[in-house]
Amino acid sequence: MKRYSFSSIFTEAFKDNLGWEKAWTKREPKKEYQIIIVGGGGHGLATAYYLAKNYNITDIAVIEKGWIGGGNTGRNTTIIRSNYLQESSIGIYEKSRFLYETLSQDLNYNIMFSPRGVLMLCQTEHELRAMKRTSHANRINGVDTKMVTPAEVKEIVPIININGPRFPVLGALWQPRGGTARHDAVAWGYARKCSDYGIDIIEQCEVIGVKKKRDKIVGVETTKGNIKAKKVCFVAAGHSSLLADLAGFRLPIESVALQALVSEPIKPMIDCVVMANTVHGYLSQSDKGELVIGGGADGYNNYSQRGSFLHIEETVRALVETFPVISRLRQLRQWGGIVDMTGDRSPIISKTPVDGLYINCGWGTGGFKAIPGSGWATAEMIYNERPGKLASPFSIERFSEGRLIDESAAAAVAH
């Protein structure tokens, strides 16, 4: 792989930029691999990357139904934060945020990580109390967050309306090390580095069956033929239930559409991420100048990748009240992704009833921020054949054992 550097840009500039090679090689499947990762989104690619980087395993195939980064990795609002309430969530999300800090250097790919700060508004007395509790939990676990006053909120975000009238801003939880990154670049950067390690990235290849021999996995059946493997890991977000169905078990997951939108591009007006849980909306500004806006998920299961208009209206209405200055902006694009929701709004990183089959799913509405940490923990689990410290609280068994990791209040907006 040709390294991206100042000198490579400089020399390519004199060669009409014709010397760049493809970021990753598109491959056809071999007969057999040591490990197959089903799902070529951020989490799947990160899992393959950390298997290669931390454990020197490169006999891996990453199988993707569509194209790399075409699912939820390319459909989110790119927010990175780790201000969760429960210890186990803080562990994995903070690991992830920490890995994001040096990810551009690790991958030799500019993922444009921008720790611009994440502000979570408190607009009711109850929310203020809950956020104070979260900030204490964060401090105990070494996550750098603090509560700020309404005056400080106004200083951080001058365009905000803190006086209400319906929902005045009473304070906020401020995580200065949170921020955003370029979502596609995260997928592309991981894919490029995986390809460089010799991992096969196979696009346009759908898994249509699971091959088992006495409750042990021996391979998968795909639209490009049968592929044998010793270990398989499903990392398919909203479509995890369908894969589990092929393997003969059911998951505690329901899939819904979550949508986001961007406004037309405008000059810089907001230099951090603002989340307003009570009124259901969050906002940041991309480097292109578009306001990136997200809101609530649909109230019923669907795989439409579109979402209902009702929620767009709700989200925009809430944000116009909080930021009156955006009221005349036009919407440029809107899209939806299928998110996999668990009952406690925490992910599943676990072994399954099938021997040799692992699963990473249930990230729901907040998977992007967790990509590096999730890949790290899943790779550790696949290599050791049991979950490590980061992943073990997130096993499927936590539901039957009553060890739920309740994070429904930590979502950007309650879904």
Partner 1 sequence: MLNLFCPTCQRDCDETELSCGGQAHLIRRDHASSDKDFYEYLYERKNDKGIIFERWKHVYGCGKWFHTARCTITNQVFGSYSAKEVQPPKSILAIIRRSRVEFKGWVK
- Nearer of residues 182 and 239 to partner 1, judged by Cβ: 239
**In the complex, least distance from residue 340 CB atom to partner 1, rounded to whole angstroms:** 8
Angle at 334 between CA 366 and CA 243, to 5 degrees: 50
**In the complex, least distance from residue 402 CB atom to partner 1, rounded to whole angstroms:** 10
* 116 within 8 A of 273, measured Cβ to Cβ: yes
**In the complex, least distance from residue 406 CB atom to partner 1, rounded to whole angstroms:** 14
* 356 within 8 A of 232, measured Cβ to Cβ: yes
The site for partner 1, by CB under 8 A, has a size of: 21
**In the complex, least distance from residue 237 CB atom to partner 1, rounded to whole angstroms:** 12
250: contact with partner 1 by CB under 8 A: yes
Restricted to residues 284-313, the positions that interact with partner 1 (CB under 8 A) are: 299-304, 308-310
296: enclosing H helix or E strand: strand 291-297
Contact pick of 80, 121, 210, 251 for partner 1 (by CB under 8 A): 251
253: contact with partner 1 by CB under 8 A: yes
* 293 within 8 A of 331, measured Cβ to Cβ: no
242: contact with partner 1 by CB under 8 A: yes
Distance, CA of 411 to CA of 277 (rounded, Å): 8
Instruction: Tell me how far CA of residue 165 lies from CA of 122, 161, 174, 299, 322, in angstroms.
Output: 14, 9, 23, 28, 10
**In the complex, least distance from residue 241 CB atom to partner 1, rounded to whole angstroms:** 4
Ramachandran angles phi, psi of 96, nearest 5°: -65, -50
- Nearer of residues 29 and 364 to partner 1, judged by Cβ: 364
Contact pick of 164, 209, 225, 343 for partner 1 (by CB under 8 A): 343
Task: Count Cα neighbours of 214 within 13 Å in the Cβ-side half-sphere.
Answer: 0
**In the complex, least distance from residue 14 CB atom to partner 1, rounded to whole angstroms:** 51
Contact pick of 176, 230, 399, 411 for partner 1 (by CB under 8 A): 399
Ramachandran angles phi, psi of 257, nearest 5°: -90, 130
- Nearer of residues 68 and 236 to partner 1, judged by Cβ: 236
Site track for partner 1 across 350-389, x = CB under 8 A? ----------------------------------------
- Nearer of residues 12 and 254 to partner 1, judged by Cβ: 254
Task: Count Cα neighbours of 295 within 13 Å in the Cβ-side half-sphere.
Answer: 25
- Nearer of residues 106 and 254 to partner 1, judged by Cβ: 254
206: contact with partner 1 by CB under 8 A: no
- Nearer of residues 296 and 373 to partner 1, judged by Cβ: 296
* 144 within 8 A of 96, measured Cβ to Cβ: no
241: contact with partner 1 by CB under 8 A: yes
164: contact with partner 1 by CB under 8 A: no
Distance, CA of 382 to CA of 390 (rounded, Å): 13
255: contact with partner 1 by CB under 8 A: yes
- Nearer of residues 383 and 399 to partner 1, judged by Cβ: 399
Instruction: Tell me how far CA of residue 230 lies from CA of 65, 96, 343, in angstroms.
Output: 21, 28, 31
Contact pick of 12, 152, 254, 321 for partner 1 (by CB under 8 A): 254
Angle at 282 between CA 91 and CA 315, to 5 degrees: 135
* Closest to 203 (Cα-Cα) out of 32, 330, 53, 28: 28
Residues that bind partner 1 (CB under 8 A): 239, 241-242, 250-255, 299-304, 308-310, 343, 399-400
